[in-house]
Amino acid sequence: MKKLFATCAAISLLGTLFFAASGNAKPPPQWQKPIIILPQVQPPVLYPPIYYPPKPVIIVPPPVIVPPPSPPVVLTLPSAPTVIVSSDPASGNDGTAMQTKKYLQVKNNTGSRLEICAMYLSANDKGKSVWLPEADEDGENQPVTATVEPGQTYTLAASDGTKVLTSRVHIWAKTDAKQWMKYQNEDLVLVDKPYRSAKPAVYAMQFGQ
């Protein structure tokens, strides 16, 4: 292989020298790389999109049916009965007095024997508000006490058995299993403002469910 290439090179060199020796001789043309001209590619033509407006939506509201006005209804009310109130000269009003006190009624719903202690607000001979029963020699009030059996009721009464009319009380109670001390040092208000009644009302309370 090497000898073949050497031989070809020698022949080529001799040919060149031969043509160079003859004045008119031209060397063989050299091979040139062909020039390839590519056709120009035109860019695509972009047309704007065609916009078709949407079809309008036609909303037909349902017909509104207005009923004719109904004729007015005329109610014939019976006349109220005549109330005759006899006046009380002592009260100076329409026949009922203004009350400022109530009776206190206590019910025992504890299911056990209930021991009750109570004090009530009253007025002394000079019209001054005082808590009764009155204070003992030590300056302390001795409460009214009562024992109420299960399911029974008790109306607050003085030591002589007279039912007490009052606007405020202190009351506390206990059984063998429980005690209620909220109103021992806090007023239980029976009447906060005068009310109209022919006779004093009853303030009901209970211990237990």
Residue 57 lies in a domain: no
Distance CA(174)–CA(113), nearest Å, equals: 9
3-state helix, strand, coil in the chain (%, to 5): 10, 30, 60
Query: Tens of pLDDT along 127-145?
Result: 899 999 987 777 777 899 9
What DSSP state is assigned to residue 132? E
Residue 197 lies in a domain: yes
Least confident stretch, 109-118, 132-141, 194-203 = 132-141
Residue 121 lies in a domain: yes
pLDDT for the residue 106: 95
Terminal CA-CA length for the chain = 128
Residue 173 lies in a domain: yes
pLDDT for the residue 63: 77
Amino acid present at 169: V
Q: How many structural domains are present in the chain?
A: 1
State the residue range of the domain holding 183.
Answer: 111-207
pLDDT for the residue 10: 64
- Maximum separation of any 2 CA atoms in the chain, in Å: 173
**CB neighbour class for 123 (10 Å; exposed up to 12, middle 13-18, buried from 19):** exposed
The tokens for 79 are 């006349």
Q: What does 22-34 look like in DSSP terms, one character per residue?
A: STT--PPPPP-PP
Query: Tens of pLDDT along 25-56?
Result: 555 556 566 677 766 767 777 767 776 677 77
Q: Write the CA distances from 180 to 25, 119, 169, 208, integer angstroms.
A: 145, 15, 14, 10
Enumerate the H helices of 36-188 as residue ranges: none
pLDDT for the residue 120: 96
Secondary structure of residue 7 in the 3-state scheme:
helix
Q: Sorting pLDDT into bands at 50, 70 and 90, what band is 7? A: low
Residue 69 lies in a domain: no
pLDDT for the residue 84: 37
Distance CA(129)–CA(131), nearest Å, equals: 7
The tokens for 154 are 């008790």
Residue 95 lies in a domain: no
Closest C-alpha among 138, 145, 192, 133 to residue 171: 145
Please give the distance of CA 138 from its chain centroid, rounded to a whole number.
54
Closest C-alpha among 147, 149, 146, 145 to residue 112: 149
- What is the rounded average pLDDT of the residues 117-131? 91
Residue 48 lies in a domain: no
Residue 56 lies in a domain: no
Q: What angle do CA 59, 64, 65 make, to 5 degrees?
A: 150
